[in-house]
Amino acid sequence: MGIARRQVLKALASSAAAALTMKVAPRSAQALGNAVQRDVCIIGGGSAGTYAAIRLRDLGRSVVVLERSERLGGHAETFRASPSDPPIDIGVIIFPDNPLVRGYFGRFSVALAASPVGGGGTSQFVDFRSGQPVAAFNPSPQEVGAGLVAYLQLLTTRYGFLEQNGYRLPGPGPVLEELLLPFRQFTEQFGLTAILPRFFQFEQGFGSLLDVQSLYILKNMSAEVVRAALTGGFLRVPQGVGALYDAATAELADDLMFGASVRLVRRDREGVRLLVQTPEGLRVVHCKKLVVTAPPTLENFAGFDLDLTELATFARFRRNHYWTAVARVNGAPPGMSFTNAAPETPYNIAPLPGIYSVGPSPTPGLMNVKYGSEQHLFDTQVRTNIRRDIERVNVSGVGPLRFDGFATFKNHSPYALMASRDDIRRGFYARLEGLQGRSRTYYASAAFQTHNSAAIWAYIEELLPRLTAV
C-alpha cells in the first residue's frame, strides 16, 4: 500500500470519527456557555490568516482567528537579543514595493524603508561538509543582471499567466512541459545559468534547486520580484516585520484565540462547527464560512470531516523542510557571510540537507543561519548539524569559528508543498483550486499561491468577494 493511500485511509478514519463525535461534543461544550459565533473562522494566524482577518473586519464581517502558537505572523518573526538591541528578522525580511504592501503597513502606521540590493560586506564560498573554501561558480554582477533581464523577458512574454493569482496553468503541451523541466535543465535551455547562485539563496526552502520543477521557481521568483531585484525596489521594516503583527494583534484583540488546537470540524448546510482546545478549555466555534491558512497537509486536517475529493487532493502534496536561526558565533570578521557550495556539483550548488548560508546580523556576535532539507529531520539533528558545520569552517584569515549556542531557532516545516510532474500534467492545480468554497471552506496558504507575503495578500483580495457573499 502506497504512503499516500495510507495517509488517505488514516485521515478518512479521523474524518469519520469527527463527524460522529461532533454530534455529541458541541452540545456538552455549549452547555458550559463556551460557544463563539462568527461570520468567518480562520485557522492559522500567519501572514495569510492575519491579513484575511483584518480585511474581513474592514468589510464588516465578524471573525475569529485560531492560532496554535502564542503570536501572529507565522514565518514572519522578529528577534531581539535584548530590548535595546536592533531587530533581526528571521523569516520574512523584504517585500516588493507595491500599493498593496504600502497600504497594509500604512494602515498600522508601520514605517517602511528601501532595502538596498545586496547586503554589502564580504562573502566566502565554503563547503560546510568539509569546512574548506570553494572556488565556486560565481558570475559577475553584469552577467547576473543580464541573466535576470532575460529571465524577466521569458516570464512576461511566455509565462505571463504565472502572474495571476493561484496556479492557472496551460493544458498539456510544450509550455507546460517547459515549466515541468528541472530548473537546471530550464536554465541551460534558455541560457540563464548565471542566475543559479543568486537563486540558490533566494529560493531557500524549495528543495534541490537544480532538480525542482521550474514552475515553482518561476512562480516564486515572479516578474514583480525580479523587477525589484533589478531596480532596488524592495522594502524592509526598520522596526522589524514583527511590528506589523504586533499592531494586528492589538486590533484583532478578542477575535484571537492563541494556543488553539482544532480537534473536530463539522461542515453542513447549516454552517461550520469547530471544537477547539484552548488553554482555558474546550470551546465551540460556529461560523458561516471557514478559511484554512495552515499548510494543507493531512496532519493539519486531523479531525476534519474531509470528503474523498479533499482527501485525495491534499494527499498528493510533497513537502520540503526549512529552518532559520540566530546563532552566537565568534571568530567571524565583521560583515562576513559564508555561502554553502560544493566542489563536485553542477554550478557548485550545495546539496541538501545542509546550510544555505551563515551571515551577519545587526548585533555583533549574532549570525543568521538558514538550513534546508527535502526530508524530515528532527530539530535536535538540525541543531547538531548546524553547530558541527559552523565549527569545522577552515578558511584562511578566518576563525577558528566558535559556536556558543542558539539565540533563537525556528522550524518552518512543512514548507513549499509541491505536486509531482505527473500530477500537474493531470490537472492537479485545477482540482486544488476547485476546492475553494467546497463545504463552506476556503484556502489561502502558500500552497495555493507561493511563499511571498505580498502575493498571498493579493490572492486573498481575490477571494474576498466569495468570503463576504451571503
Average pLDDT, the chain: 93
Distance CA 294, CA 301 (A): 9
Query: Positive or negative CA dihedral for 4, 48, 378, 369?
Result: positive
Q: Which residues of 19-51 are buried (b: 16+ CB within 10 A; e: fewer)?
A: beebeebbeebeeeebebebbbbbbbbbbbbbb
- How remote is the C-alpha of 353 from its chain's centroid? 18
Burial of 181 (0-12, 13-18, 19+ CB in 10 A): middle
Q: Check residue 8 and give its pLDDT.
A: 46
Q: At what angle do helices 223-231 and 141-157 cross, to 10 degrees?
A: 150
Give me the mean pLDDT over the 150-154 stretch.
98
Residues 6+ apart with CB under 8 A from 233: 96, 97, 227
Grid cell for residue 373: 532539507
298-354 confidence digits (pLDDT tens):
999 999 999 999 999 999 999 999 999 999 999 999 999 999 999 999 999 999 999
Distance CA 328, CA 434 (A): 47
Q: Is the peptide bond before 360 cis (omega within 30 degrees of 0)?
A: no
Q: Check residue 116 and give its pLDDT.
A: 76
Q: What are phi and psi of 291, to 5 degrees?
A: -120, 120
Give me the mean pLDDT over the 162-178 stretch.
97
278 and 263 in contact (C-beta within 8 Å)? no
Give the confidence band of 217 by pLDDT, cuts at 50, 70, 90.
very high
- The rounded radius of gyration (Å) of the Cα atoms in the chain is 23
Burial of 246 (0-12, 13-18, 19+ CB in 10 A): middle
- Judged by average pLDDT, the poorest of 116-120, 224-228, 456-460 is 116-120
Q: Check residue 156 and give its pLDDT.
A: 97
22-51 confidence digits (pLDDT tens):
554 545 444 345 699 999 999 999 999 999
pTM exceeds 0.85: yes
315 and 447 in contact (C-beta within 8 Å)? no
Give me the mean pLDDT over the 213-229 stretch.
97
Q: Is 358 helix (H, G, I), strand (E, B) or coil?
A: strand
Give the confidence band of 69 by pLDDT, cuts at 50, 70, 90.
very high
For residue 15, pLDDT beyond 60: no
Grid cell for residue 59: 468589510
Give me the mean pLDDT over the 427-444 stretch.
98
Side-chain-side CA neighbours of 421 within 13 Å: the count stands at 12
Question: pLDDT higher for 340 or 2?
Answer: 340
Q: Are strands 402-411 and 354-360 parallel, antiparallel or unpaired?
A: unpaired
